[in-house]
Amino acid sequence: MRKSVLVDTNVLLDAAMRERPDHAYALMLFDEAVYEGLDLRVCVSSYKDVYYVLTKYASEPEARAYVADLLRVTTPSPVDSACLEIAVTSNEPDFEDAVVRACAERDGVDAIISRDARAFGHSRVRRLTAREYLTLFCDVEETSLA
């Protein structure tokens, strides 16, 4: 059965920026999507957040190109009024995390991939780091995770 995960903004940025923690693990997660069929979902609001941050880190054309690349390997998860209603009334301490959680729960994904250890504690969908997901569910070399 094909696995599906919702990827948090911090992991998308990890993949884009070499100096970020877990850069290599985020890239390996994307490899799982490209080569092994992992369904990577992303809240539509995260694309704009990634674009905004990357324009401060790189050029506008580079930020736009990265978002275009993301759109080729990810499935946008719509943020509709129902998700926003769930998010605004949730017990998630951070509203942006609440939106991610609402999308993940609505989409029925297997996990939320995030480095934010304090987020998603009350979600029906468990939170894993990219490294944890790769270790638990993917056939990757142990040496590549060291």
- Could you state, in order of their start, the residue ranges of all structural domains in the chain? 4-145
Residue 145 clears pLDDT 80, i.e. is over it: no
**Cα-Cα-Cα-Cα dihedral sign, residues 127, 95, 42, 142:** negative
The pLDDT, as a whole number, for residue 143 is 47
Cα separation, 35 vs 43, in Å, equals 22
Q: CA distances (Å), 39 to each of 86, 95, 144, in order?
A: 23, 25, 22
| CB burial string 49-81: b at 16+ within 10 A, e below | ebeebbeeeeeeeebeebbeebeeebeebebee
Which residues does residue 11 pair with via DSSP β-bridges, in sequence order? none
Identify the band that residue 142 occupies on the pLDDT scale cut at 50, 70 and 90.
low
Q: Classify domain 4-145 by CATH number.
A: 3.40.50.1010
What are 117-135's pLDDT values in tens digits? 999 999 999 999 999 999 9
Q: What contacts 110, CB < 8 A, 6 or more positions away?
A: 3, 4, 5, 125
What are 34-51's pLDDT values in tens digits? 999 999 999 999 999 999
**Is 119:127 a contact under the CB 8 Å cutoff?**
yes
The pLDDT, as a whole number, for residue 21 is 86
Residue type, 7: V
The pLDDT, as a whole number, for residue 139 is 79
Identify the band that residue 104 occupies on the pLDDT scale cut at 50, 70 and 90.
very high
How much helix, strand and coil, in percent to the nearest 5, is found in the chain? 60, 10, 30
